[in-house]
Amino acid sequence: MTQIKLSRRALLAGTTAALAAPTLARALDAKPIRIGEINSYSAVPAFTLPYRNGWQLALTHINDAGGVLGRKLEVISRDDAGKPQDAVRLAGELIENEKVDVLAGGFLSNVGLALSDFSARKQVIYIAGEPLTDALVWEKGQPFCFRLRPSTYMQAAMLVAEAAKLPARRWVSVAPNYEYGQSAVKWFSELLKARRPDIEFVTAQWPALGHIDAGAVAEALAAAKPEAIYNVTFGPDLTNFVRQGNTRGLFEGRAVVSLLTGEPEYLDPLGAETPPGWIVTGYPWASLDTPAHKAFREAYQSQFHDYPRMGSVVGYALIHAIAAGITRAGGTEAAAMARGFAGAQFETPFGAAQFRAIDHQSTLGTFVGRTALKDDKGVMVDWHYVDGAAVLPDDATVKKLRPNAG
C-alpha cells in the first residue's frame, strides 16, 4: 500500500504555522473572518454530516492556534436541500445580511455550478468542496471559483489506469442523469478508449438521481451482454443497484469499475451485500496509518466518538485551504483573494495539496483499490494513493478547456 509521508506536526500545525504572526494593524482588527458555508445537509446527510464535523474540527484547530492573520475564523452555515435555486438565494443572504467574506461548500454538481455563477456575478470568492463537475474549473471556470476535491476527470483517469488492464472489451455504464454523471461517463469512456481502442460501450443507463428503477436498470445492462460495467451511482441509488444486481447475477463473471464506491459513506450501507473485487475510488480510513492521517483520525474520533468518512476529510481540508488562501492574499479583499488562492498550498489528512493557478483545481488526490468483505462489512483492499497532480491535464490542454485560463 502506498504511504503518504507527512508528519503529525505538519497536519495539525502546518497550515496554521503558515498563518504568520499578524502585524499590529491586523492584530487590532479583531473582527472575525466569516465563511458562508452552504451544503445539502437535509438531502445528503450521509456525506454532509461527517463533512460538518470535519470543518468544525478544522475550525477548532485553526482558531486555537491563533486564527488567520490574527483573526478568528467563523462559519455561518446554511442548508440548500440539494436545490440550486435555494443555494443561490442563501448565498445572497449570506453576502448581504451576514457580510461573509468567502462562500464555501456545495455537494451536487448543479448546485456548485449555480454557486460559481453567483460568485462570478457578485465577484465573491467561492471555494467548492465537494462538487465534482469538470465544468466548474474548465469550460465554466471563472476567477473567483476554486475547487478542492479531485474532479470527475481526475477520478475517471485514476480508474482508467486500472480498467485498461482488464481483458474486457464490451462495456456498459450506469450513471445519474445530471452533470456529474454525464461528465463521469464522458471522461471515463474517452480516456479508456484512448488507451484501449479495442473496447466499445454497448449501452448506457441514465436513471434520475434518487429515483433509480434498479431492477429494470440491471436487466437492461445484462441484456447488452457486457464483459465489464462502469458504475457512477452513489448513495441509496447505489445500494438499490447493488441489491438488484446481486439478485439477478449481474456482477457474476463481470468486472465492475465504480466511482466513489470505496468511500465509507457509500460502502458502509452495503454491509454484507458488498460485491467483492470492484475497482473503486474511496477512502480506507481504518488502514491508512500515515502520521498525518493518524493525527486527523485520532483528533476526529476524540471529538466526535465516531470514525471519519470522506466527507470529514473534505470538510477538514476545506477550512485549511481557505485559511491558507486568505493568508497568502494578506486579507479578505476579493480580488486579492482571487490572486492569493491561485497557487496556495495547504495541508490535508492525505498530505499537502495546492490550488493550481491555471485552472483553480486542487491537487488533492484520492485512493484506488478493490472492494472486499470483512466481518460482513465492505472494506477497501489493495489500495494506493493517487496524487491529483498526476492525473490532471497539462497547461496546453487546460487552455483549450478553459477559455480564461491563467
Average pLDDT, the chain: 93
Residue 25: its pLDDT value, please? Answer: 43
Tell me, what's the pLDDT at 17?
43
Look up the CATH architecture of domain 153-286+367-391. 3-Layer(aba) Sandwich (3.40)
| 247 alpha-carbon distance from chain centroid | 31
Query: Per-residue pLDDT averaged across 43-54, rounded?
Result: 95
Give the mean pLDDT of 143-148.
98
CB 51 within 8 A of CB 359: no
Name the residue ranges covered by the structural domains of the chain: 8-150+288-364, 153-286+367-391
pLDDT for residue 156 is more than 90: yes
Strand pairing class (170-174; 145-147)? unpaired
> Collapsing DSSP states into helix, strand and coil, what is residue 53?
helix
Query: Is residue 15 scored above 70 in pLDDT?
Result: no
What is the pLDDT, as a whole number, of residue 22?
43
Is the fold of 8-150+288-364 the same as that of 153-286+367-391? yes
Taking a C-beta distance cutoff of 8 angstroms, is the pair 98, 108 a contact? no
Between 405 and 15, name the one with better pLDDT: 405
* CATH class of the domain defined by 8-150+288-364: alpha beta
**Residue whose C-alpha cell is 472575525:** 32
* Mean per-residue pLDDT, 18-45: 73
d(CA 278, CA 59): 36
The CA-atom distances, in angstroms, between 374 and each of 20, 235, 260 are 46, 21, 19
Q: What is the spatial distance between Cα 172 and Cα 208, in angstroms, rounded to a whole number?
A: 17
Q: What is the pLDDT of residues 263-310, one digit of tens each?
A: 999 999 999 999 999 999 999 999 999 999 999 999 999 999 999 999
Q: Tell how strand 345-348 and strand 351-354 pair up.
A: antiparallel
